[in-house]
Amino acid sequence: MVTIIQGTTKKPISAQRLANFFEDHNKYDGFLYIGYPIIGTAEGPYPIDALLVSKSKGLVVFCLVEGRDISGAQNAQDDSYNKLESKLRAHKSLVKGRNLQVPINPVTFASAREDAVNFSKEEYPICNDASLEAWLDNCQWDDSSHFESLVAVIQAISTIRKGRKKRDVQKPDSRGAKLKRLEDSIANLDNLQGRAVIETVDGVQRIRGLAGSGKTIVLALKAAYLHAHHPDWKIVVTFHTRSLKGQFRQLINTFIIEQTNEEPDWENIQIIHAWGAPGGGDRNGLYYSFCQSYGVEYHDFGSAKRNFGQGKEFEGACQKALIECSSPIGIYDAILVDEAQDFPPAFLQICYEMLKPEKRLVYAYDELQNLSSQSLPSPEKIFGSYSDGTPRVRFIQNQPGKPKQDVILEKCYRNSRPVLVTAHALGFGIYRTPNADIGTGLVQIFDHNQLWLDVGYEVTGGELADGNDVTLSRSEESSPNFLENHSHVDDLIQFCCFDSSEEQAQWVVQAIQANLSEDELRPDDIVIINPNPLSTRSAVGPIRKLLFEHKIKSHLAGVDTSPDVFFDADCASIAFTGIYRAKGNEAGMIYIINAQDCYSSFGNLASVRNQLFTAITRSKAWVRVLGIGREMRLLMQEFEHVKKNEFSLHFRYPTKEERKSLNIVNRDMSENERQRILKKKDDLTQLLDDLEAGRVYPEDLGGDQLNRLKSLLNGGG
């Protein structure tokens, strides 16, 4: 089956006819990119009309004809072939000796020409819908061993990976060697990631996924792709965590150079913080630009706190600006928002108002990394309604062959299964000591149980329904085995309790010494996180002092460095951070200190549990959760339950009444989705009634449907 990825095209009719062909002919395999890639040449960017990347066919380059004029077919095929070949030959992984290891098959697709076969030649084939199948069947790739490398080159991932500092390892089984193999294993974007990068709708698009599912890299590549295709567009990338700025800039710069052979025009593609302040340059921000552009009063943090109260600073400032701006005029062609879960809805409304009529707003988020315990409402509620009551933004159901408006990234490529399940168990309080008042230890829960399945869990026991015991486990598909097979589970994640902060500090320093001297880890492979943002500076001081005495360099991210920098530029310093600056970043070895602060908190339990969840999920390989005293020992008891249940979640799903006492993690569900789920429930109820009444017999359903139903009811077994 061919996965169709719809990019920007100036030939929409022929492109759709080509997409329809592959939808109708499912015997082929691979990816069909429309409007991608763009190849950087000496003459500037060269867009490929459409490209099939297939294990059985190699590369098929389509030169699309919009209409009937095929006079330039030969030149178009030559140009596409030569430019694509030149791009591929630049990568050693695709060349053996002087020979390119990938066949390139150019073809002109002229769907409006019924007589296309009359103009087709062996060297310069021209096909329409009727003749394309016969021609494709003659294309063959006998040795597809280079397929993964080919996909990485086409996606430009191989080029982006070259930007990383080379890892020098001597011991084949050291942590450094294991980390290198892990990084090499994550070679390509998966289907959903690839589609999310290239497919853009006129209107609002959202990208949801767990920590480590690739949201940030997808947004960066998406911004770069839009800029490469539309260099005159005004595009903004914005975010909550300031240390993401450097990461975004590096990814966008690398991708655009790969695609266009030119530097980005940083006037037209801006990477700016959400809030901002006067002074220009790196101080600019989207909210500040809104105030400046529309002549409304700007509030800095201090002013916002005085006027709107603690915890409501940004929300209040954005709401006031929206009220004062009666008729905003669109400035930007596209705005991409990362970490949307940390923004108030009013900020997304500001982004929406600053866009031109097409309203190309893309926002990405993970509800479980929300550190404020407030979930995003549905898009209908965020963006409001017109005077007649119809929503300004309405999500339509995903349609085959069409760009997706709502993308869920299901796979986690950062955290191993044991690490991710532990983070969820502690974040939700799955194995926390039950509260006598409500009979459960749960801290928070999704408002729709379907979301557990959306984020990659499957029911392996019980029933995912109110008041029922259920066991949820992650599949190999959603949590690939290679993420955990490199180390024993007791090494992947460890919990340690100490009697004093001094003992904790000594342990961390000794462990870091071993990481650097024996494990072949680099300083930038190690991050120490203190979850409580208010105590971070004082809490990390003793550990940093001991490291200094051992001649190990360290820095406190955003304090010793620019707020826009997380890792030291030369990778020679170990990063210490609070939880807010840790978001969006990752490292091979994560040390979480003072985790006892996340066990309980009066009136703020969901927030501190989310802090622990977020800290754990920064890890690409190993996690050390450290703390002091009784509450750390209680946290360790929860972890022991996770291990005892073989890193699955076993609990009684709370009833509607019990959920009233919990923090609800809302799924950002559109009205269309709600109606679809309600309709499916009604359809199922009707089917059960008909079966019971004898209006429908089991054999009427067919053997395949009955077997599928039995499998689902038996937990997939």
In the structure, what pLDDT confidence band is assigned to residue 373 with cuts at 50, 70 and 90?
low
Closest CA to 594 of 511, 535, 643: 535
CA distances from 336 to 23, 25, 53, 194, 318 (A): 30, 35, 28, 17, 18
* pLDDT at res. 451: 82
Mean pLDDT of all residues in 334-351: 93
**By the 8 A CB rule, do 521 and 179 touch?**
yes
Q: Among 656, 648, 649, which Cα is nearest to 467's?
A: 656
Side chain identity at residue 343, one-letter code: F
Is the pLDDT at 677 greater than 70? The verdict is no
| Percent of the chain surpassing pLDDT 70 | 88
How far apart, in whole angstroms, are the C-alpha atoms of residue 532 and residue 203? 38
Q: Give 643-662 pLDDT, tens digit per residue.
A: 999 999 999 999 888 888 88
**Distance in angstroms between the alpha carbons of the first and the last residue of the chain:** 26
pLDDT at site 160? 63
Q: What angle do CA 275, 280, 282 make, to 5 degrees?
A: 65
Q: Which residue has the higher pLDDT, 242 or 687?
A: 242
| pTM of the complete model | 0.78
Q: For every residue of 382-427, which 3-state class applies, written as one string?
A: HHCECCCCCECCCCCCCCCCCCCCEEEECCCCCCCHHHHHHHHHHH
Look up residue 391 and give its two tokens: 């929503």
Minimum mean pLDDT range among 95-99, 353-357, 603-607, 655-659: 603-607
Distance (Å, rounded) from C-alpha 255 to C-alpha 261? 10
353 neighbors 322 (Cβ within 8 angstroms): yes
Statement: residue 673 has pLDDT above 50: no
How do residues 528-575 score in pLDDT, each as one tens digit? 999 988 889 899 999 999 999 999 999 998 787 777 667 776 778 999
Q: Best-predicted range by mean pLDDT among 196-200, 230-234, 384-388, 661-665?
A: 230-234
Question: Which among 538, 413, 635, 605 has a CA at the least distance from the CA of 625?
Answer: 635
CA–CA separation, 444 vs 367, rounded Å?
Answer: 12
Q: Give mean pLDDT, residues 206-234.
A: 89
DSSP assignment of 78-140, as one string? HHHHHHHHHHHHT-GGGEETTEESS-EEEEEE-TT-TTGGGT--SSS-EE-TTTHHHHHHT--
Confidence band for 124, pLDDT divided at 50, 70 and 90: very high
pLDDT grade for 50, boundaries at 50, 70 and 90: very high
pLDDT in tens, 374-412: 667 888 889 989 888 899 998 887 776 678 888 888 788
The answer to whether 538 touches 503, Cβ cutoff 8 Å, is no
- Residue 680's pLDDT band, with cuts at 50, 70 and 90, is low
Tokens 């076993």 locate to 650
Give the mean pLDDT of 140-169: 79
Cis check: omega of the bond before 37, within 30 degrees of 0: yes
State residue 226 phi and psi, 5-degree precision.
-65, -40
Closest CA to 584 of 609, 558, 608, 605: 558
Q: Report the pLDDT averaged over residues 223-236.
A: 93
